[in-house]
Amino acid sequence: MNTFVLFKNTKIHYNHYGKGKPIVLLHGFLENSTMWNDFIPQWSKNNCIITIDLLGHGKSDCLGTVHSMELMAEAVNKVLSHLKIKRATFIGHSMGGYVALAYVKLYSSKVSGLCLMNSTYKADDDELKLLRIRANKMVKNNFKNMVQVSFTNLFAPQSRIDYEKAIKSALSEALKTSVNGYISAQEGMRIRLDSKDVFKKLPCKKLIIIGKKDMVLDGNILKKEAKELQIDIVEFPDGHMSHIENKESFSYNIMHFIENI
């Protein structure tokens, strides 16, 4: 069921399926709510699944020139308030994890569980901040090539061969993102703050999912810190896109996580 709410006079697109524990699925940069389509039939059997297109992605409109993670979190809260959902579990892929952490900062009492999927509580280092600035300058004149290169690099080398069809489908969705949506999200991710303490202190079930060959995140640091923080962590053998590269194992682990909330 495709539906919209207005947030600051801007359309936010969402879907909801099934009944039971509310589970909010937040996609990553250059993705949209369609990334969850293959999992919804199984996950919604005993749960209420809510998928949301974040600002500037999918069918949701842009709001200004900077989509901070907090602004995106406020838009998510608008959807949940509209649905009269008082508390939910969040699963956030990459940028979606950053938005979920911002949601925790703003509405911690409304969070019953949090999975950072190929995501991190760490802020960008100086090198990555600079890369985002450069990308925003280049994308204005070379959007398609920029998206194709950056999106393909999210996958482990062998995955680019093994999952060629799925990658092409995901890339076609990525290319639907507007240039403004790209730039606004990049800037929002660039300015986000470190959320380690927020994640550590969140008093609910938590999970981190990482890929061994992920070129975006430093999984070794996350594994070490997860052990110190006594937070569950699952490592898959491939890259940044676990829902494609490790689909069955990913779904199994998410179902297990949800069942134990």
The parent domain of residue 99 ranges over 3-259
List, in order, residues 6 or more apart from 107 with CB less than 8 Å away: 73, 77
Q: How far apart are CA 90 and CA 110, in angstroms?
A: 10
CATH of the domain at 48: 3.40.50.1820
Spatial CA neighbour of 241 closest among 141, 108, 95:
95
Which H, E and C letters describe 138-185, residue by residue?
A: HCCCCHHHHHHHHHHCCCCCCHHHHCHHHHHHHHHHHCCCCHHHHHHH
Per-residue pLDDT of the chain (261 residues; tens, 9 = 90+): 679 999 999 999 999 999 999 999 999 999 999 999 999 999 999 999 999 999 999 999 999 999 999 999 999 999 999 999 999 999 999 999 999 999 999 999 999 999 999 999 999 999 999 999 999 999 999 999 999 999 999 999 999 999 999 999 999 999 999 999 999 999 999 999 999 999 999 999 999 999 999 999 999 999 999 988 889 999 999 999 999 999 999 999 999 999 999
Question: Domain total for the chain?
Answer: 1
